[in-house]
Amino acid sequence: QVQLVQSGAEVKRPGASVKISCQASGYTFTSYTMHWVRQAPGQRPEWMGWINPGNGNTKYSQKFQGRLTINRDTSASTAYMELSSLRSEDTAVYYCARDPAYDLWSGFFDYWGQGTLVTVSS
């Protein structure tokens, strides 16, 4: 069965960076786009960007341009999301989420990781 398992909660100081992993199993990792979505407390989900694990191509929301890096390790079936220059407004649960389109992009999400809470506080 498809599973996305994320790394554990993080506490960071303002200005620091955070890197979260998302290990996929139960399907061919390189055949499905992986998205990253975050959700601040009490807020709607917010899409951050995606990676095509097959070729490494990425697309980021303009909001995070310059601060966000998404990459992958195909040998480990793992996607990574790194956000730099953290501020208090980045406190949120961060999710990886699989795009169900095979070798394409559908823009919605059929499987989600369990979420990783990132707390940014001085």
Which residues contact other proteins (rule: CB under 8 A)?
35, 44-47, 59, 61-63, 95, 97, 100, 106-110, 112-115
By beta-carbon proximity to other proteins, the closer residue of 31 and 61 is 61
- Distances in Å between the alpha carbon of 113 and those of 16, 22, 86, 87, 121? 24, 7, 22, 23, 24
Residue 68: which of 88, 44, 51 has the closest Cα?
A: 51
Q: How far is the CB of 121 from other proteins (least distance, A)?
A: 20
By beta-carbon proximity to other proteins, the closer residue of 43 and 122 is 43
Number of Cβ within 10 Å of residue 15's Cβ equals 11
Q: How far is the CB of 30 from other proteins (least distance, A)?
A: 22
By beta-carbon proximity to other proteins, the closer residue of 16 and 102 is 102
- Dist CA 94 CA 6 (whole Å): 9
Q: How far is the CB of 78 from other proteins (least distance, A)?
A: 18
Q: Are β-strands 111-112 and 18-25 bridged in parallel, bridged antiparallel, or unpaired?
A: unpaired
By beta-carbon proximity to other proteins, the closer residue of 62 and 122 is 62
